[in-house]
Chain A
Amino acid sequence: MLKNTVKDLALSANFDLDKRVEKLIRKAEKQEISPNGKIALKIILENIKLARKKKMPICQDTGLAVFFLELGRNLKIDFDLTKVLNQGLREASREGFLRNSVADPISRKNTKDNTPAIIHLNLTDGNRLKIKLLIKGAGSENQSLARMLKPGEGIEGIKKAVVEWVQSAGGKACPPIFIGLGIGGDLELSALLAKKALLRPAGSKNQDPVLAHLEKEILEAVNQSGIGPGGLGGRFTALAVQAEKAPGHIASLALAINLQCWAHRSAEAVL
C-alpha cells in the first residue's frame, strides 16, 4: 500500500503540475510585459496542459526524488521504509516511462531506475505518516548554493547574495523560478531548510513577519533583474521566494539558496 502511494506520488508529481504553481504562472503570463517572455510563458502553460492530458512528463528531466517524511511517533514501522520508498519510485519510473536520471558520481554509471531516492525522516506527534515528495531537476539544482556569510553582513548581505546568485543563474535554472532559502543553522541545516522552504505551498508567505518581508523584498529585487521567463527577458524571473530559518553559531550566518524551476513538481500524501 505504501509502495503504491509512493508510485502514485511520483507519477502525479511528474505529469500533473501543482495547480497553485500553474496559477502563479498564469498570473505571470497575464502581467508579463516582455513579448518574448510572454511567449515563453504561453508555451509553458501549453506544456503543462499537454503533459496532464497525455500523462507524460512535464519535463524530460524527471529528476531526483527527494522525500520528506513525518512519522508519527506512535506508529510502529516493522518493515524497511527506505526499501519500500525506493520500490515505489522504481515502479513509477518503469510504468510512467520516466527518464533514468540517477548515476554514480564517479563512474557516472546510471542506476537505471532512478533510485536511490533522497530521504529525510522526522518524528512528529500522532500515528500518521506524511510523505512529501519533491522532484528536483538538475537544471535548477545545479544553480543552487550553500555559503557562509559573516554575521555582520546581516539581512542586507543575504539579499545581496541571493540577488547576485540568481542573476548569475540567469536562464539556466528555467525561470520563472521558485527560490528556497535556508538561513542560519550550520552548513547542512541551511541546505535542508532551503529545500524544506520549497515544500511549503507554492507562493505561501512565511508566518514570521520578518521573514515574510524578506521574501517579498527579495522577490521584488530579483524581478528587477530583467532575466525573465525562459531567460528571454522580462519581469517574471521568479514566482516566489520562500525562506526558513534556524538559530546558528554566533560567528556564523549560513545561507543556502535552492533554486527550483518553474516546473515545481511536488506531491504529498498522509497515511
Chain B
Amino acid sequence: MNFKKVKKIKTPLSKDLAKNFRIGDWILLSGIVYTARDQAHKRMFELIEKGKKMPLNLENAVIYYTGPSPAKPGEILGSAGPTTSARMDKYTPLLLKMGLSGMIGKGERSGEVKSAVKEFGGVYLVTIGGAGAYLSERVKKVKCLFWQDLGPEAIYEFILEDFPCLVAYDAYGGDYFQAVRAKFRGGIK
C-alpha cells in the first residue's frame, strides 16, 4: 500500500507522542490496543461514574472499536474491522479525561468528542470500515481480558503489527473529514 506521510508508531501512546500527529497522517500502529464497543463502554462509564475501580488502565491506552467474528480452529481471530465510532461518543470525553490517548474506529464523531481530543490530548484514528479480513491479518496476538460474558463485545487485548490508520481528529482541534470534504466537494478538481 502506498501511504503518504506514514509514521510507524508503537503503543503505549503517550499524549506527548500524540502531539506529533496531524490530521491526514497515515500511521502504521504496532503494540497493545484494547477492544471495546457499546456494552463495554457502558460498563466502564458506569464504574467510573460510581467511583469504582476500573479494570482497564486507560493511561496512554488506545481503544479499538471492534467486535470481531469468532476465530476458526487453528486461528487467533476472525474478521476484525472497525465499528461506527459515533455510538461511543457519549462515553469518550470522560475516558479521554481519565487518560485514554487514542481511539481507532470509523466515521465522523460529535463536536464534544472533537473538543475533548483537543482539551485532553490524544488522537482519533480511523481505519477502513468493512475490511475485517484484511485488518485481522495485522493482529498478531489476542487475549480476552475481561467481561467475557459480552462475547464479541468483551474487552480483548490485541497486539497489532503495522495496523493502518489515518489521523481524523488531532490534538489541535483538526478535523480530517471537514478538511477533505471541502477539498473534494463538487467532484473532479
Chain A positions within 8 Å of B, measured between CB atoms, are: 33-37, 39-40, 42-44, 46-47, 50-51, 54, 56-62, 97-101, 108, 110, 112, 137-139, 142, 170-174, 223-228, 230-235, 261-263
Kindly identify which residue among A50, A233, A261 contacts B137, using a CB–CB cutoff of 8 Å.
Answer: A50
* B181, A233: Cβ atoms closer than 8 Å: yes
CB under 8 Å from chain A, chain B span 148-171: 151-152, 164, 166
Q: B11 in the interface, Cβ–Cβ < 8 Å?
A: no
Specify which of B2, B84, B164 is in contact with A172 (CB 8 Å cutoff). Answer: B84
Contact A228 B184 (CB under 8 A): yes
The reply to whether B187 and A44 form a contact with Cβ atoms under 8 Å apart is no
Instruction: Among B71, B78, B129, B134, point to the contact of A50 (Cβ < 8 A).
Output: B134
In the complex, what distance in Å separates the CA atom of A40 from the CA atom of B2? 11
- With contact pairs A57-B133, A99-B68 given, residues A139 and B151 touching in the complex (Cβ less than 8 Å): no
Once the chains bind, are B186 and A224 in contact (CB under 8 Å)?
yes
Partner of A44, one of B83, B130, B137, B182: B130
Q: Does B115 contact A (CB under 8 A)?
A: no
Q: What is the count of residue pairs linking A and B with beta-carbon distances less than 8 angstroms?
A: 167
Residue from B80, B108, B130, B186 whose CB has the most chain A CB atoms within 10 Å: B130
A230 to B126 CA separation, bound complex (whole angstroms): 9
Residues of A within 8 A of B189 (CB): 33
Q: What is the CA–CA distance of A170 and B185 in the complex, to the nearest angstrom?
A: 13
Please tell me if B20 contacts chain A, counting CB pairs below 8 Å.
no
Docked-complex contact B166 and A170, CB < 8 angstroms: no
A139–B84 CB distance below 8 A: yes
Nearest to B106 among chain A residues (CB) is: A171
Q: Is the interface of B mostly helix, strand, loop or mixed?
A: loop
Query: Are A60 and B1 in touch, CB under 8 angstroms?
Result: no
Closest A residue, CB atoms, query B3: A39
Which among A51, A108, A138, A231 is the interface contact of B177 at CB below 8 angstroms? A231
CB neighbours of A228 from chain B (8 A): 180, 184
Given contacts A99-B70, A108-B39, A225-B181, contact A139 B83 (CB under 8 A): yes
Residue on A nearest B70 in the bound complex, by CB: A97
Kindly provide the distance from the CB of A9 to the nearest chain B CB, expressed in whole angstroms. Answer: 18
CA distance in complex: A54, B136 (Å)? 12
Which of B70, B130, B137, B183 is the one whose CB lies under 8 Å from A59?
B130
Q: With A43-B131, A59-B79, A60-B67 known to touch, is A171 a contact of B184 (CB < 8 Å)? A: no
Asked whether, in the complex, the Cβ of B131 is within 8 Å of the Cβ of A47, the reply is yes
Query: Distance (Å) between the CB of B81 and the closest chain A CB?
Result: 6
Across the interface, which residues of A come within 8 angstroms of B95, CB to CB? none
Min distance, Cβ B169 to any Cβ of chain A, angstroms: 13
Given that A43-B134, A47-B133, A61-B83 are known contacts, is A34 also in contact with B180, CB under 8 Å in the complex?
yes
Q: Which residues of the other chain, B, contact A223 by a CB distance below 8 angstroms?
A: 187
| 8 smallest beta-carbon distances between A and B, as pairs | A233-B180, A172-B107, A226-B184, A174-B129, A47-B134, A226-B185, A60-B79, A226-B181
Chain A residues with CB under 8 A of B78: 56-57, 60, 97, 99
Contacts of B164 in A (CB 8 A): 43
* Interchain CB contact (< 8 A) of A235 among B4, B182, B184: B184
Distance (Å) between the CB of B123 and the closest chain A CB? 16
With contact pairs A44-B128, A58-B133, A97-B70 given, residues A233 and B184 touching in the complex (Cβ less than 8 Å): yes
Does B132 interact with chain A (Cβ within 8 Å)? Answer: yes
Q: Is B188's CB under 8 angstroms from A56's CB?
A: no
Chain A residues whose CB sits within 8 angstroms of the CB of B183 once the complex forms: 34, 226, 233
B46 shortest CB reach to chain A, Å:
14
Task: Using CB atoms, name the residue of chain B closest to A230.
Answer: B128
The answer to whether residues A56 and B133 also contact, given A99-B67, A142-B84, A231-B106 and a CB cut-off of 8 A, is: yes
A residues in contact with B129, CB < 8 Å = 59, 139, 171, 174, 230-231, 261
Say yes or no: is B54 at the interface (Cβ < 8 Å to chain A).
no
Kindly state whether residue B66 has any CB partner on chain A within 8 Å.
yes
Residue of B nearest to A56 (CB): B133
How far apart are B188's CB and chain A's nearest CB, in angstroms? 6
Contact check: which of A51, A112, A137, A174 meets B133 at CB < 8 Å? A51
